[in-house]
Amino acid sequence: MRFFLRHLFATAAVSALSAVLAALTYFALLGWAMVSDQGLGGPFALPFICLFGVVFGCLVSVTVLFPLTAAAQLLRTRFLPSVVVFECPALLGMALLLVGTAATTVALTLRPSFPTLLLLTAIAFSVLVGLLFAYWFVLRAADALIAFALWLYSRLVARRSSPAPIRGAA
């Protein structure tokens, strides 16, 4: 149960981060539209871009980040159970393999120019590593959050269940 709760926290964090990045992108595009004297797409552009960011964050979390981090945790617990930092090289290697496979597929099917392919690969790898770091960091912090929530809940339940002392009784 704790495993899935940690991943649920991480998915929510990545979805929120994706929405914030989408909103920042919108404001950057708004600045560009003012400088170039062009339109931006109407009054619903910001909500739809943020909605796209949330949906993108959820899909990437479920289809890419969850399997990568679960595999890295499995590798770490099999070979180096005490060192959590060794998940990072495994995650980076798997992310590089994933982006490299996608770039090879795009190169063979669409045949873009090499600089365009290199730029798109660098952007995709940077975004994936950023989201992967956020997901991994929230997974590490989720244990402390869950422990704090359980401690707070036990304190609240203990306070309600203990009878209040009667004042004035000898």
Q: Which tens digit of pLDDT belongs to each residue from 89-110?
A: 888 899 999 999 999 999 999 9
Q: Which tens digit of pLDDT belongs to each residue from 38-72?
A: 887 778 888 999 999 999 999 999 999 999 998 88
Instruction: Give the C-alpha separation, 90 to 48, whole Å.
Output: 35
* C-alpha distances in Å from residue 138, one per residue of 33, 40, 118, 145, 147: 35, 34, 30, 10, 14
Does any domain span residue 30? yes
**pTM over the 0.85 mark:** no
DSSP 79-91: H-TT-GGGHHHHH
Does any domain span residue 13? yes
Instruction: Give the C-alpha separation, 75 to 87, whole Å.
Output: 8
Does any domain span residue 39? yes
Q: Which tens digit of pLDDT belongs to each residue from 123-143?
A: 999 999 999 999 999 988 988
Domain count for the chain? 1
What residues make up the domain containing 99?
2-150
Does any domain span residue 35? yes
Does any domain span residue 170? no
Does any domain span residue 11? yes
Does any domain span residue 161? no
